Structure 1
Amino acid sequence: MYQVNEIILYGSEGICKIDNMMTRHVNGQPIEYYVLKPIKSESSTIYVPTLNEELTKKMKRVLSYQEIIDLIHFIPDSELLWIDNDNLRKERYKGILRDGNRQEIMQLIRTLYLHQLKLKEEGKKFHASDDKFYKDAERILYEEFAYVLNISEEEVVPFICQEIDVKEIA
């Protein structure tokens, strides 16, 4: 169970603060909710029923500094997640973003980045759905990295590159 004032990652909404816990009555039954405030949009409010397993699974503890460093060092040896079949690839990538496993999200970013480079070399265009997955994965992961590392999102890629001593990764 999460606590009020705790900072979490909530699905594709990104970093949120648990602003409150509240009970609402629905059909005469009391239902307890987490009240989440996205840090990028404090005017937004997300209500997550505490007993709704599907929605509470989207709530993840924010990575620690050391977990981020470990994840960054995982990048060069990570397996690529490319799937040639468009439909299977879309389903797999949707699942990765939905599940929120940061290691898989990092692998997804690396896979799509390298695929995009390959296509550029061949004079081909990046598929629109792959571009969307790439941008969504970056947004989710880089927002969390920026928050934990106390840097801007624009500084995340240079930080990663410096940490693994490469010129460019994504």
Structure 2
Amino acid sequence: MFNIGDTIIYSSHGLCQIDAISEKTFSGVTKTYYVLHPLNNEKLEISTPVDNKTISTLMAKEEAEEILNLFTQPGIEWIEKGNQRSQGYSLIAKKGDRKEIATVVNSLLVKKNELENGGKKFPEQDRKLLISMQSILFSELALSLNTTTEAISDKIAHLLDIDEEVIVINE
């Protein structure tokens, strides 16, 4: 169990801080809940049961360095059909395995760079998925490595040998 003040990773919200731990009753069932807020949105309050499987601890520095190293290797196999790609990559994001997420972000960034340099538009559903996954991953890498998301973006652009403009930091 986490403590008040801990920073955790929560589902699609990314880095969150636990503000309180309280008992809540819904439909006659009382459970213990974390009350938290995303670090990038102080006004949003989220309640989630303490046994929620989509909560995880921050990665250690060693794991963060391992994940950065994944950007020196090929990413996940590109799926040509947009809907299949979106479903497959979204499923990986939901599982929460950071190494798998990094391989998806890798492939999406490389494809985005390739398309935009060829004068083509990057598909909107891929763009949304990339921004969501990249935002959470880069924020966590920055926190674990005691740096900024901008520094992580620059490093990854360099490792992938892509244009830095391809990486959208805040949208």
TM beyond 0.5: yes
Residues 7, 16 of structure 1: 8 Å contact kept: yes
- Using the alignment, how far apart are the partners of 1:11 and 1:103 within structure 2? 15
TM-score (norm 1): 0.84
- 3-state DSSP class of the match of 2:34? strand
Asked whether 1:133 is paired with 2:129, we answer yes
Question: For 1:57-96, what aligned pairs fall within 5 Å after superposition?
Answer: 57-96=53-92
CA distance in 1, matches of 2:98, 2:143: 15
Once the two structures are TM-superposed, the CA of residue 149 in structure 1 deviates from its matched residue by 2.3
SS of 2:103's equivalent? helix
Cα RMSD of the aligned pairs, angstroms, is 2.3
- Indicate yes or no: 2:45 matched with 1:45: yes
Distance 2:86 2:162 in 1: 29
State the alpha-carbon separation in 1 of the partners of residues 66 and 140 from structure 2. 14
Instruction: Give the direction of change, closer, same or farther, for the CA distance of 1:41–1:79 in structure 2 (3 Å limit).
Output: closer
CA distance in 2, matches of 1:144, 1:9: 8
In structure 2, what residue type is equivalent to 1:19?
A: D
- The separation in 2 between residues aligned to 1:161 and 1:47, in whole angstroms, is 36
Q: Distance in 1 between matches of 2:83 and 2:45?
A: 33
Q: What are structure 1's unaligned runs of at least 5 residues?
A: none
Q: Give the TM-score normalised by structure 2.
A: 0.83
Q: 1:118 to 1:159 in 2, by over 3 A?
A: closer
Residue correspondence of structure 1 range 147-166 to structure 2 within 5 A: 147-160=143-156
Number of residue pairs matched? 165
Q: Contact 1:72 / 1:160 at 8 angstroms: preserved in 2? A: yes
The reply on whether 1:30 has 2:30 as its aligned counterpart is: yes
On the 8 A contact 2:10/2:16 being kept in 1, the answer is yes
Q: Percent of aligned pairs with the same residue?
A: 27
The letter of the residue matching 1:25 is T
